[in-house]
């Protein structure tokens, strides 16, 4: 870690906010984007954190990411909501989409929302947590329109994105359950982080451009490209297929049909089911039964080398507590890429360095 710089959350947020604002975004947009990205870093998901800024900046320059967009309502029947993200910042589009969905779920008991054409919406757990703040359960299926990066089970080249799946469940007076994972063995951003760090990946994670096993992350970052493998063999690959169709097609958006045309760096579609347990009449039952099962689940004697059995979302909260106290580690390559991105928006390196402290 000697080459790393450690930056406290607040100055890092300020630096990212300044870069986004320099690209023409409003104060509100710059705030939503920067806080979302830093929150991902705080929770240990550096793949979805500030290291995304260089890609976002390039997307703005290329015309694939439109600044200051707001979610467009295509259809609204109350329980059913179809939305278009108009290629706007996913951090803004996702936030607005979940606020609309939460409002309708609290009114009608449930909201099924199809969101299409949002630029990269980041860590999906963020949207589950937003629903949790409203006391709502949510389920999310997501697809990715970009350069295909994940191979189907039994395949030897990339055919789709990392296609995340997520569920958020609130707990009365206790930390929620947040299940959030890519359907690939590893998130694409984590391979970028490994490449920037100069470290190998675990065996069985990726294949090279000839479909052969490799541990070198360069095959997911620079040409010639290989592919990430699905998690859980045919099971993860099947879930990725479902996420592609539900998140991409049923949402009103598009699915991956071939190699990227290069116009958009990354678009997401998301199908979300947002449920109000109170309206369902099961809130008290849910609260009681969740605690019964969590106690039983976590009461399993820890395996050798494990301190305790955890619930989904707990490792992220532990990491956040640690990084709020100690700062967020940023590798030199990622930091240099962030500085270069700022330069594209007219911010010199010294200005960003000063803001970041």
Indicate the helix (H) or strand (E) that contains 36. Answer: helix 27-42
Q: For residues 308 and 300, what is the distance between their CA atoms, to the nearest angstrom?
A: 8
Residues 186-203 have a mean pLDDT of: 90
* Tokens 């949790």 sit on residue: 132
CB proximity list for 114: less than 8 A, separation 6 or greater: 81, 82, 83, 250, 251, 252, 253, 269, 270, 271
Coil, strand or helix at 212: coil
- Domains in the chain with CATH codes: 1-62+327-356 (1.10.1530.10), 65-182+230-276 (3.30.1370.60), 185-226 (3.30.60.50)
The mean pLDDT of 80-88, rounded to a whole number, is 98
Q: How many CA atoms lie within 13 A of 97 on its CB side?
A: 41
Question: Is pLDDT of 313 > 70?
Answer: yes
For 110-147, the pLDDT digits (tens) are: 999 999 999 999 999 999 999 999 999 999 999 999 99
Question: Which residue matches tokens 């301190």?
Answer: 307
Q: Is 123 helix (H, G, I), strand (E, B) or coil?
A: coil
Q: What pLDDT is attached to residue 344? A: 97
Q: Which of 97-106, 174-183, 190-199 has the lowest mean pLDDT?
A: 190-199
**Contact, 148 vs 161, CB < 8 A?**
yes
Assess whether pLDDT exceeds 70 at residue 6: yes
DSSP 74-94: EEE-SSEEEEE-TTB-HHHHH
The Cα–Cα gap between 188 and 158 comes to 12
Ranges of beta strands (E only) in 211-299 are: 213-214, 227-228, 267-275
Length of the chain: 357
Nearest CA to 229 out of 257, 203, 255, 196 is that of 203
**pLDDT confidence of residue 2:** 47
Q: What pLDDT is attached to residue 80?
A: 98
Sorted by sequence, the CB contacts under 8 Å of residue 108 that are 6+ apart come out as: 78, 79, 279
Q: pLDDT tens for residues 317-346? A: 999 999 999 999 999 999 999 999 999 999
pLDDT of residue 4: 80
56-to-41, 217, 293, 332, 341 alpha-carbon distances in Å:
16, 21, 41, 19, 9
Q: What is the pLDDT of residue 1?
A: 44
Angle (deg, nearest 10), helices 27-42 and 9-22? 140
- Residue 66 has a pLDDT of 97
Question: How far is the C-alpha of 210 from the C-alpha of 39, rounded, in Å?
Answer: 37
- The average confidence (pLDDT) of the chain is 96
For residues 246 and 243, give the distance between their C-alpha atoms in angstroms, rounded to a whole number: 5
Which of these ranges, 82-96, 147-161, 183-197, has the smallest mean pLDDT? Answer: 183-197
80-84 vs 110-119, strand pairing mode: parallel
In this prediction, what percent of the chain has a pLDDT beyond 70?
98
Higher-pLDDT residue of 262 and 105 is: 105
Whole-angstrom distance, CA of residue 122 vs CA of residue 3 = 27
CA neighbor of 312 nearest in space, from 191, 136, 171: 171
pLDDT band at 189 (very low <50, low <70, confident <90, very high): confident
| Secondary structure (3-state) at 25 | coil
Considering only 39-48, 117-126, 182-191, which range has the smallest mean pLDDT? 182-191
Around Cβ 188, how many Cβ atoms within 10 Å?
22
How many other C-beta atoms can be found within 10 angstroms of the C-beta atom of residue 300? 10
What is the tens place of the pLDDT at every residue in 252-296?
999 999 887 655 579 999 999 999 999 999 999 999 999 999 999
């Amino acid at each position: 870690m000697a080459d790393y710089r450690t930056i406290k959350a607040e100055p890092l947020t300020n630096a990212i906010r300044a870069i986004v604002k320099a690209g023409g975004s409003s104060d509100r947009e710059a705030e939503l984007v920067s806080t979302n990205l830093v929150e991902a870093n705080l929770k240990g998901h550096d793949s979805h954190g500030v290291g995304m800024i260089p890609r976002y900046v390039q997307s703005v320059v290329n015309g694939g990411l439109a600044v200051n967009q707001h979610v467009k309502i295509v259809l609204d029947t109350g329980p059913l909501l179809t939305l278009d993200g108009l290629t706007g910042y996913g951090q803004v589009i996702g936030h607005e989409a979940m606020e609309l969905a939460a409002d309708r779920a609290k009114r009608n008991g449930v909201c099924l929302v199809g969101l299409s054409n949002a630029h990269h919406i980041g860590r999906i757990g963020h949207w589950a947590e937003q629903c949790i703040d409203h006391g709502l359960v949510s389920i999310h299926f997501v697809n990715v329109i970009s350069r295909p990066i994940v191979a189907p089970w039994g395949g030897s080249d990339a055919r789709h994105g990392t296609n995340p799946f997520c569920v958020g469940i609130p707990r009365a007076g206790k930390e929620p359950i947040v299940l959030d994972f890519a359907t690939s063995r590893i998130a694409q951003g984590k391979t970028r982080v490994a490449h920037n760090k100069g470290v190998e990946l675990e065996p069985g994670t990726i294949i090279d451009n000839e479909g052969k096993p490799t541990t070198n992350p360069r095959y997911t970052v620079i040409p010639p490209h290989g592919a990430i493998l699905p998690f859980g063999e045919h099971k993860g690959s099947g879930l990725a297929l479902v996420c592609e169709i539900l998140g991409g097609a049923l949402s009103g958006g598009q699915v991956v049909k071939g190699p990227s045309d290069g116009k958009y760096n990354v678009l997401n579609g998301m199908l979300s089911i947002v449920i109000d347990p109170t309206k369902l009449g099961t809130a008290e039952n849910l609260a009681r039964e969740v605690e019964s099962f969590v106690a039983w689940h976590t009461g399993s004697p820890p395996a050798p080398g494990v301190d305790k059995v955890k619930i989904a979302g707990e490792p992220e909260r532990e990491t956040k507590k640690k990084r709020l106290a100690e700062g967020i580690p940023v590798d030199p390559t990622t930091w240099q890429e962030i500085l270069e991105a700022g330069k594209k928006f007219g911010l010199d390196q010294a200005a960003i360095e000063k803001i970041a402290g």
